[in-house]
Amino acid sequence: MTSSPVPHMSSDELRRHGHAVVDWIADYLDRVVELPVQSRVEPGWVRSRLPAHPPQTGEPFAAVLRDLDEIVVPGLTHWQSPNFFGYFPAETSGPAILGDLLSAGLGVQGMSWATSPACTELETHVLDWMVELLGLPERFLSSGPGGGVIQDSASSAALCTLAAARERAVARHGVDPTLVVAYTSTETHSSVAKGARVAGVGHVRAVEVDGLHAMRPDALEESMTADRRAGLVPAFVCATIGTTSSTAIDPVRAIAQVAARHDVWVHVDAAYAGTAALCPELRHHFDGLELVDSYVFNPHKWMLTNFDCSCLWVADRAALVGALGILPEYLKNAATTSGEVIDYRDWQIPLGRRFRALKLWMVLRHYGAAGLRAHVREHIELCRWFEARIDADPRFELCAPAPFSLVCFRCVVGGGGTPTDGDGVTADLLAALNGSGRIFLTHTRLAGKLVLRMAIGATMTERHHVEAAWELISELADAALADAGLAGSE
């Protein structure tokens, strides 16, 4: 069929191997519940099983699938296990997996409208759909001066908006970037501090939080006023709806009002929690978004869409493009020159871009709004159930409100010790849980105390998984307390 000396995979082989890979994935998802959730390999185990030198000639496809089973799978922590409760979820789903597959198969580049119009237009369209589905303000629709774009992550979205805010401040105040200040809270995701460092923003303030781990607008006001008095230029504040440690909710409206007085760009990061806005009964957590400059949420966390798919909206796309747009001769084309189209390369750091809208489109069409809402409500309900178990059990304490599907808790040690006396037992419990291979959780610190995070949100997690997790936690907590010579349930 081909005269080429290159051993390309023929289309017949692609069909055969492709079917085998699809079946392998379906099998994997069927059996992942039986695998130890956290990988048990030691550092170097995977590499020690790989050949030291690359293959000189091609190998049969079956050899790769065999090594997948024997070398790769044991080295995975299984994020798709229904017993994965760590970090935040990174949900996949059938339609999203197949959307990613189609994107790979088409292999088009969406850096400019002209390089594949459908890649750009489907993205713009689906992001407008999401504005409607999430009840976001009209300012984020592409029909006005704003619009949405898919980024790889909320970290990149933070960096892009920070760069735009920095440029706006520098232009308005004629100062250099070392005088620019960005504001986060002590609970804001580390990506903002990282973005500020990359962007050469001179100052980052971590504003104090209240007892519920939410940013204090009065402290923000004080900090901005003090900075201006010192000759600095407040330029950017990131409010979070659903912080990483505890899903705390910063008061966006009050923060935006403070920011408006100081002419500061307000970015809202709802990377995990943003999916909850699908449900009208949860929208009160998202109050004030009509006052903000940019908003990001990640369908790749809790909305059944494979990583990477982070949706960023801006109220003023010109500010973003002004900071990130560059047009060399080799990218010029008639559509760009006409000004009638969006060139998403100017909305992001990389030049190239995959057709990521396909998977989001396929998720929306497969589930429909009703299906997605049912998904969120199921996890919220499981969270309520688990939270009630913790709350009713004297061996544990809740460490933060649980407005979405994350419960923060720790072991309680009786008596009049210091507040962190429970840290040791809590750490032992975490080690025992993860060591069991039956579930996987991660930790954080809140107000100095070690806290376990039960993040309910894997695609396949159902009630019986959460019930079994609770039983295991209960059982291993007894053991941890006994080892420590304590009886938590007294």
Footprint of a second copy on 222-251 (CB under 8 A)? 244-245
Rounded to a whole number of angstroms, the minimum distance from the CB of residue 396 to a second copy is 19
CB of 125 to a second copy, least distance (A): 5
**CB nearer to a second copy: pick between 328 and 417:** 328
The site that binds a second copy (CB under 8 A) totals a number of residues, namely 160
Interface with a second copy in residues 241-300 (CB under 8 A): 244-245, 300
Range 369-398, binding a second copy (CB under 8 A): 369-371, 374-375, 378
Residue 6 CB, nearest distance to a second copy (Å)? 4
The packing angle between helices 357-392 and 463-483, to 10°, is: 50
Pick out residues in 119-148 that bind a second copy (CB under 8 A). Answer: 119, 121-122, 124-125, 129-130, 132-133
Angle between helical axes of 252-261 and 217-229 (0-180°, round to 10): 20
Query: Scanning residues 314 to 373, which ones bind a second copy (CB under 8 A)?
Result: 323-324, 326-332, 335, 338, 340-341, 349-352, 354, 358, 361-362, 364-371
Q: Which of 37, 79, 146, 258 binds a second copy (CB under 8 A)?
A: 79
Interaction between residue 104 and a second copy (CB under 8 A): yes
From 111-119, 258-266, 288-296, 469-477, span contacting a second copy (CB under 8 A): 111-119
Residue among 490, 478, 472, 489 at smallest CA distance from 425: 478
Should residue 159 be labelled a site residue for a second copy when binding is judged by CB under 8 A? yes
Q: How far is the CB of 286 from a second copy (least distance, A)?
A: 18
233-240/265-269 β-pairing: parallel
Between CA 410 and CA 420 the distance in angstroms is 10
For residue 316, whether the previous peptide bond is cis, meaning omega lies within 30 degrees of 0, is no
- How many CA atoms, within 13 angstroms, populate the side-chain half-sphere of residue 182? 32
Stretch that binds a second copy, among 150-158, 213-221, 227-235, 416-424 (CB under 8 A): 150-158
Cα separation values, 283 from 203, 277, 303, 311, 417, Å: 33, 5, 16, 18, 41
Least separation in angstroms between CB 190 and a second copy: 4
Residue number with CB closer to a second copy (145 or 352) = 352
* Identity of the residue numbered 276: A
Q: Which residue, among 238, 128, 135, 250, has the nearest Cα to 194 in the 3D structure?
A: 238
Please select the residue that binds a second copy; options are 83, 92, 185, 223, rule is CB under 8 A. 92
| β-pair partners for 311 | 150, 297
Q: Which residues pair with 444 in a beta bridge?
A: 451
Q: Is 83 in the site for a second copy (CB under 8 A)?
A: no
Interaction pattern, residues 170-209, with a second copy; x per rule: CB under 8 A: ------xxx----------xxx-xxx-xxxxxx-------
- Structure tokens of 5? 């000396």
Beta strands (DSSP E) in 111-188 are 147-151, 180-185
34 in contact with a second copy (CB under 8 A) = no
Quote the CA–CA distance of 328 and 346 in Å, as a whole number. Answer: 12
Alpha-carbon distance 16 to 25, whole Å?
14
Cα 98 to Cα 16, 122, 206, 370: the distances in Å are: 17, 17, 41, 21
467 is an interface residue for a second copy by CB under 8 A: no
Contact call for residue 74 and a second copy (CB under 8 A): yes
